[in-house]
Amino acid sequence: MKENEIVTIVMNNGMEIIGKFIAEDFTTITLYRPRMVQANQSGVGLVNGICMTGAEPNGNFDFNKTGVMFMIETVKELATGWTSQTSGIAVPHQGGLIK
């Protein structure tokens, strides 16, 4: 993965985490402002943090590779959602012209 790319890591228990890829070494994967993916009636959303009851990591967080099954590039729609949620910047939808 490339540094600053929005990625998804899938944990051994099936939980999915989205964040900005910072670094990887032999034992850890470091993500910036990771968010847990949560399915709901409307589709998929992002939880402000990596678990339902824990504090929200506002910087880098290291995930031990023994708990990670794989890492993959995040689909564009969810990557855009992560960017909006963590930066407060509304990312424009594609298409159309502003007049």
The pLDDT of residue 88 is 75
User: Does the pLDDT value for residue 97 go beyond 70?
Assistant: no
The correct answer on CATH 1.20.1560.10 for the domain covering 6-87 is no
Residues 6+ apart with CB under 8 A from 49: 34, 35, 36, 55, 56, 57
User: Does the pLDDT value for residue 92 go beyond 80?
Assistant: no
Backbone angles phi, psi at 53, to 5 degrees: -120, 0
User: Does the pLDDT value for residue 90 go beyond 70?
Assistant: no
The model's pLDDT over 13-42, given as tens digits with 9 standing for 90+, comes to: 999 999 999 999 999 999 999 999 999 898
Domain residue ranges of the chain, discontinuous segments joined by +? 6-87
The model's pLDDT over 49-69, given as tens digits with 9 standing for 90+, comes to: 999 899 999 899 999 999 999
